[in-house]
Structure 1
Amino acid sequence: MKSSAQTSRFLFNDTALYPLFEQLRRADSQVVSIFHLGDSHVQAGFLPEAAAAGLKQKFGDAGPGWVLPYNLARTNGPDAYRWSSHIRWSSVRVVERYQVYWPGPGGMTIHTSQVSPSLSCTIKQGSTDNIQIFYDAGTGKAPVQAVGDMEQLTVRIHEDSTAFPENMQQATITADSSIYAFRLSWPQHKGLFRFYGAVLQNGHQGVLYHAIGINGAQFMHYNQHAATLPVQLRILRPQLLILSLGTNEAFGGVTAAQLRQEMDKTMKAVREHAPGAKVLFTTPPYGMKKKRRVAYRKNKRTYYRVTYAANPQVAVLRAEILQYCRDNGYACWDFYDAMRADKRFLRGWSNDKLHFNAYGYTLQGTMLFETIAAAYDDWIKNLTDAFPGKPVERAEIQ
Structure 2
Amino acid sequence: MQFPLKTALALSTCVLALAAVHHWKPDKGLSPSIYAEAWTVHLHRNPPAGVQPLPAQVAPTAPADLKDPAAPRVHYASSAFLVDDSGALDPLFARLAQLKDGEHVAILHYGDSPTTADLITGDVRALLQQRFGDAGHGYLLVAKPWAWYGHRGVDLTGHGWTISTAVGKMRADTYGLGGASFVGSSGASSRISLKDADQSAMELSFMEQPNGGTVRVSADGQSIATVDTAAETRQPAWKRIPLPAGAKTVDIAAESGQVELFGETFERSQRGILYNSLGLNGASTTVMSRGFNPAIWSAELQHDAPALVIINYGTNESSFGSFVDKQYEGELRTAIQRIRNALPNVSILVMSPMDRGERGGIDEIHTMATIPRIVAIQKRVAADTHCAFFDTFDAMGGDGTMSRWYTSSPHLVSADLIHPTPQGASIIAQIFVKNLMQEYDSYTAHQPGITQDTTQQAKPEQKQVSQP
8 Å Cα contact 1:255/1:317 also seen in 2: yes
Residues 100-144 of structure 1: per-residue CA shift (max 9 Å, x gap): 9634332222334x5343222112356322211123486323232
* 1:349 aligned onto 2:413: yes
- Structure 1 counterpart SS, 2:345: coil
Asked if the contact 2:197–2:247 (Cα under 8 Å) also holds between the matched residues in 1, the reply is: no
Q: Whole-Å Cα distance in 1 between the matches of residues 133 and 82 of structure 2? A: 23
Which residue of 2 is the match for residue 295 of structure 1?
Answer: none
| Matched residue SS, 1:371 | helix
- Distance in 1 (CA, whole Å) between partners of 2:109 and 2:418 is 20
1:249 to 289, 298, 317: 317
* Unaligned residue ranges in structure 2 (runs of 5+): 1-53, 61-76, 459-463
Q: Distance in 2 between matches of 1:89 and 1:150?
A: 21
Q: Deviations for 1:51-103, whole angstroms, at most 9, x for unmatched residues?
A: 11111110111111101145365443234312224x44342221144999634
CA–CA distance in structure 2, aligned partners of residues 340 and 320 of structure 1:
19
Q: Does 1:278 align with 2:347?
A: yes
TM score, norm. by length of structure 2: 0.72
- Structure 2 partner of 1:44: 117
Structure 1 residues 109 and 143, CA, compared in 2 at 3 Å: closer, same or farther? closer
Provide the residue aligned with 1:220 in structure 2.
286
Contact 2:150/2:156 (8 A) holds in 1 = no
CA distance in structure 1 between the aligned counterparts of 2:226 and 2:107, rounded to whole angstroms? 26
1:329 to 386, 389, 400: 386
Aligned counterpart, 1:175? 243
Aligned residue runs from structure 1 range 230-309, under 5 A: 230-253=298-321, 254-291=323-360, 307-309=364-366
Secondary structure in 1 matching 2:243: strand
1:247 is displaced (CA, Å) by 1.2
Q: Retained in 1: the 8 A contact 2:207–2:229? A: no
> For residue 214 of structure 1, what is the amino acid of its counterpart?
L
Aligned mates of 1:111, 1:276 — CA distance in 2: 34
Q: Residues 192-248 of structure 1, C-alpha deviation per residue, up to 9 Å, x if partnerless?
A: x43311111112211111110111111112221333642441342111111111111
- C-alpha separation in 2, matches of 1:125 and 1:8: 35
In the alignment, does 2:213 pair up with 1:142? yes
Change over 3 Å in CA distance of 1:125–1:46 after alignment to 2: farther
Unaligned stretches of 5+ residues in structure 1: 293-304
The answer on 1:32 being equivalent to 2:93 is no
Distance 1:54 1:242 in 2: 17
Q: For residue 83 of structure 2, what is the aligned residue in structure 1?
A: 12
Partner amino acid, structure 2, of 1:318: V
**Equivalents in 1 of 2:97, 2:293: separation in Å?**
34
Richer in strand (by share): 1
What's the secondary structure of 1:368's corresponding residue?
A: helix
CA shift in 2, pair 1:349/1:211, >3 Å: same
Does the aligned pair in 2 maintain the 1:10–1:333 contact within 8 Å?
yes
Question: Does the C-alpha gap of structure 1 residues 100 and 32 become closer, same or farther in structure 2, counting only changes over 3 Å?
Answer: closer
Q: Which residue of 2 aligns with 1:340?
A: 397
Residue 160 and residue 11 in structure 1: after superposition, are their counterparts in 2 closer, same or farther (change >3 A)? farther
Find runs of 4+ consecutive structure 1 residues off by over 6 angstroms: 158-161, 341-345
In 1, the alpha carbon distance for the partners of 2:249 and 2:182 equals 20
2:394 is the counterpart of 1:394: no
Q: Is the aligned partner of 1:132 residue 2:203? A: yes
Check 1:270–1:178 CA distance in 2 against 1; reply closer, same or farther (3 A cut).
farther
Q: Which moved more, 1:234-243 or 1:7-16?
A: 7-16
Distance 1:100 1:159, change over 3 A: same
Shift of 1:157: 5.3
Letter matched to residue 324 of structure 1: V
Q: What is the CA–CA distance in structure 1 between the aligned matches of 2:207 and 2:447, rounded to whole Å?
A: 48
- What is the rounded CA distance, in whole Å, between the counterparts of 2:210 and 2:165 in structure 1? 23
When residues 72 and 81 of structure 1 are mapped into structure 2, their CA distance, relative to the original with a 3 A threshold, is farther
Structure of higher CA gyration radius? 2
Q: Measured at CA, do residues 135 and 106 of structure 1 come closer, stay the same or move farther in structure 2, by a change above 3 Å?
A: same
The alpha-carbon deviation at position 280 of structure 1 amounts to: 1.1
TM-score normalised to structure 1 length: 0.83
Instruction: Give the 3 Å change call, closer, same or farther, for CA 262–356 of structure 1 in structure 2.
Output: same
User: In 1, Cα distance between the equivalents of 2:256 and 2:88?
Assistant: 50
Aligned to 1:204: 270
Could you give the per-residue CA deviations for residues 341-395 of structure 1, whole angstroms, max 9, x where no partner exists?
68778531111001111111122122222221222122222336xx79x998331
Distance 2:188 2:171 in 1: 22
From 140, 143, 149, give the equivalent of 1:67: 140
Name the stretch that deviates more: 177-186 or 2-11.
2-11
Letter in 1 for 2:264: A
Aligned length: 376
Looking at structure 2, the residues matched to 393 and 141 of structure 1 have their Cα atoms a distance apart, in angstroms, of 48
Specify the alignment match of 1:383 in structure 2.
Answer: 447
Residue identity matched to 1:107: G
% identical aligned pairs: 20
Moved more, 54-63 or 357-366: 357-366
Checking the alignment, whether the CA contact within 8 Å between 2:161 and 2:189 is kept in structure 1 is: no
- C-alpha contact (below 8 Å) 1:28/1:60 kept by paired residues: no
Helix, strand or coil for the counterpart of 1:272?
helix
Q: Which amino acid aligns with 1:372?
A: L
Q: Name the CA distance, whole Å, in 2 between partners of 1:249 and 1:195.
A: 29
Q: Secondary structure at the match of 2:109?
A: strand
| Contact 1:210–1:236 (Cα < 8 Å) also in 2 | no
Rounded to whole Å, the distance in 2 between the matches of 1:144 and 1:97 is 28
